[in-house]
Amino acid sequence: MKVKIKDKDFDIFLTDKEIETAVSTLAKKINTDYTDKDPLLVAVLNGSFIFCADLIRHLNFDPEISFTKLASYQGSESTGKVNELIGLTEDIKGRHILIVEDIIDTGNTLEKIIKILNEKEVASVEIVSLLFKSEVYKKKTPVRYFGLDIPNKFVIGYGLDYDGRGRSLRHIYQIAEG
Ligand code: HPA
Ligand code: MG
């Protein structure tokens, strides 16, 4: 099965069934590790919204969830570039945080998010990402929970976009060769 989004062709890469299996496996691990921890799920918009919605319905506890977005702006001359997590208004001091991502590649954004969370004196921070491009990941922070380690090719669907489109696709598609 192929799809065309704007100027690019994509081939099917993971079916909705395969995604469902990956989400359910991840949820089982989180159920085991987070019993009695009452974690706050911090879902990073936009891409993670579908994964997050499916993941929480596989958990055996009812988690608190916050949706956030990383914003960068130019501060004063002395502060330089400032990173901020928009929408994260909860008091998170002492909480166990689970960052929910659709995909991790270089880890650049992730590292900024983790730094901000740690400055707020959280009890712990771990990452749960549906997809992980481990071959391009450059950071030391381990990605504790990932569904599938995938090659460094552009993917869309199940929340992931190409130029704002493709998020509603039920399967995950990979950019076609050539
Ligand atoms: N697809 C969509 N969004 C992304 C990707 C990708 O492969 N990698 C990082 N953001
Ligand atoms: Mg995107």
Q: Please tell me the distance between residue 37's alpha carbon and the centre of ligand 2 in angstroms.
A: 31
**Cα 148 from Cα 171, distance rounded (Å):** 14
39 backbone dihedrals φ, ψ, rounded to 5°: -70, 155
Give the active site residue among 105, 149, 161, 163. Answer: 105
150 within ligand 1 shell (Cβ under 6 A): no
Q: Which helix (H) or strand (E) holds 175?
A: strand 172-175
Cβ(56)–Cβ(41) below 8 Å: yes
Lowest-confidence segment of 48-52, 72-76, 107-111 by average pLDDT: 72-76
Q: Would you say residue 88 has pLDDT above 90? A: yes
Which two structure tokens, joined as six digits, stand for 163? Answer: 């130029």
pLDDT at 79: 85
Task: With 0.85 as the threshold, say if the pTM is over it.
Answer: yes
**Cα 58 from Cα 80, distance rounded (Å):** 42
Which two structure tokens, joined as six digits, stand for 98? Answer: 């689970």
**Cα 35 from Cα 173, distance rounded (Å):** 34
pLDDT at 78: 86
| 151 alpha carbon, closest ligand | 1
Active-site annotation holds for 105: yes
Q: Is 153 helix (H, G, I), strand (E, B) or coil?
A: coil
CATH number of 16-151: 3.40.50.2020
What does the DSSP assignment read for 16-43?
HHHHHHHHHHHHHHHHHHHTTT-PEEEE
